[in-house]
Amino acid sequence: MKKALAALVVGTLLAGSLNAAEKKDPRLELMQDMRTMMDAMEQIQRGGLYSSTDEMKAGVKKLQGTLKSLESEEVKTILPKDQVYAYKFAQKTAQMLRMYSDDMIVSIEAGRMDNALDDYTQLLKQCTSCHIRIRNW
């Protein structure tokens, strides 16, 4: 019984420390954010193609939830080392993502779906623009 309890404690501590280490690595957080962004973009596109404004709005909410780290100075810690100097560009991209996604909500509320879908196109363009720059495509 004691052995089992000890193993449980050690296991919990190990899992906790691994979790803490994972949380401390901003690059892992960025990778997670990027996956969430991709999901969000897919959700917006799905909403647009299936005429579901709720789905589009949910996608926007998900997307905006990932922008904080890119908009802040924290972005310096998550960019590849050779691209840290370009952090202003990444910040600008995040600001543009916020602007187009905010406009998408305004357009949906106003029933201007052509503008909302234009915003989707611009969001995708911002994603590819940043990837071309930061990943040296």
Partner 1 sequence: MDRRNFLKVVAGATVIAASPSLIRGNLYAADGTLYKAYEKTQLVDAAGKPIKASALEKEVTYIFNYPHASTPCMLINLPKPTTKDVELTSEGGEKYVWKSGVGKERSVVAYVAICTHQMTHPTPNDSFIAYVPTAKKTMAYEKSGIIVCSSHLSAFDAGAGAKVLGGAATQPLNSVVLEHAADDTLWAVGILGSDKFQDYFKSFRPELKEFYGGPAEAKKLVSISAKTVKLTEYSKEIIQY
Residues that bind partner 1 (CB under 8 A): 85-86, 88-89, 92, 99-100, 102-103, 115, 118-119, 122, 125, 129, 132-133
Alpha-carbon dihedral of residues 103, 86, 128, 57, nearest 10 degrees? -30
Instruction: For residue 4, give both structure tokens.
Output: 């089992």
The pair of structure tokens assigned to 121 is 């196109």
Of 90, 92, 93, give the one whose Cα is nearest residue 76.
90
Query: Which residue, 33 or 119, has its beta carbon nearer to partner 1?
Result: 119
Q: How far is the CB of 11 from partner 1 (least distance, A)?
A: 49
Task: State in angstroms the smallest separation of the CB of 43 from partner 1.
Answer: 21
- Smallest distance, Å, CB 85 to partner 1? 7
Q: How far is the CB of 52 from partner 1 (least distance, A)?
A: 22
Q: CB–CB of 36/59 below 8 Å?
A: no
Q: Which residue number, 61 or 125, has a Cβ lying nearer to partner 1?
A: 125
Q: Closer CB to partner 1, residue 43 or residue 93?
A: 93
Give the integer Cα–Cα distance in Å for 104 and 111. Answer: 10
